[in-house]
Structure 1
């Protein structure tokens, strides 16, 4: 089941964010993600976030800022079960187009986005990490 985040779910979602970033971005120093953790946790209070629940547990989430996807993360034990696709499909119903940035070295994520209908729009450098990234877009 997918639903909007509630205030009492922010800690769980923030933990999934940190775990997911540490796991997917081992090419970036872990201190970067840990340093940003409190800021992200605070921003979750005002963000448009949808959680996927497996029974009562949050298995994953997707966060939006307008049509920009700030992130999509699924707990390690729930990956490769279609949850990320369901989250994408859910927000695709709410928008005519979606945009997401992804580090070039995150091959699994790029493949996942492309399988879900996103195409590469631009390339650049993330000013915070110095890593190459791409911008992907999806249109109805």
Structure 2
């Protein structure tokens, strides 16, 4: 656990190239089922739209950014950690920071990304709903997760086009 050496700060335009690279590297590992052509398209959207337009918090290590979390209101658009910095508590640190800011969070995660599903469950998120296609209409099921867990009568439908 190397959290003591990590600072969390707001996104700055100078972070764009580094965070886009982190997103791509982490996505290739955590989403091996997605075609590279799709990841390349999304990479452009991350750089031009999502990073500059969302509330993005950056985890910075001794040599620069090592991960980030992007928030759209109470929705986590993405949480990505550089592969060489994973499993060091940085994702947990960013998630705690976001929860402290918002008090309630939701996200969507690919069912096939079991490591991420387990990570969010470990942090108190529960599955609310499943959908069978992703935002591109491809057959990659997603789970909508929330924290705190809503009662069964308060569950709301998921909306699309909100995840990195």
TM-based fold match above 0.5: yes
Offset, 1:22: 1.1
Determine if the alignment matches structure 1 residue 131 to structure 2 residue 140. Answer: yes
Q: Deviations over 1:1-36 (max 9, x none)?
A: 100011101111111111111111111111101122
Match of 2:119 among 112, 115, 126: 112
Q: Structure 1 residue runs of 4+, over 4 Å off? A: none
Aligned to 1:35: 41
Q: Deviations over 1:65-120 (max 9, x none)?
A: 00100000000111100000000000111112100101111000000000011000
What runs of 5+ residues in structure 1 fail to find an aligned partner? Answer: none
Give the TM-score taking structure 1 as reference length.
0.96
SS in 2 for 1:130: coil
What runs of 5+ residues in structure 2 fail to find an aligned partner? Answer: 1-6, 150-164
Match of 2:83 among 76, 85, 92: 76
SS in 1 for 2:143: strand
Offset, 1:130: 2.1
SS in 2 for 1:38: helix
CA RMSD for the aligned pairs?
Answer: 1.2
Offset, 1:61: 0.4
Q: From the two aligned structures, give the one with the greater strand fraction.
A: 1
Structure number with greater Rg is: 2
Offset, 1:56: 3.7
Aligned to 1:9: 15
Aligned to 2:31: 25
Distance in 2, matches of 1:3 and 1:25, equals 27
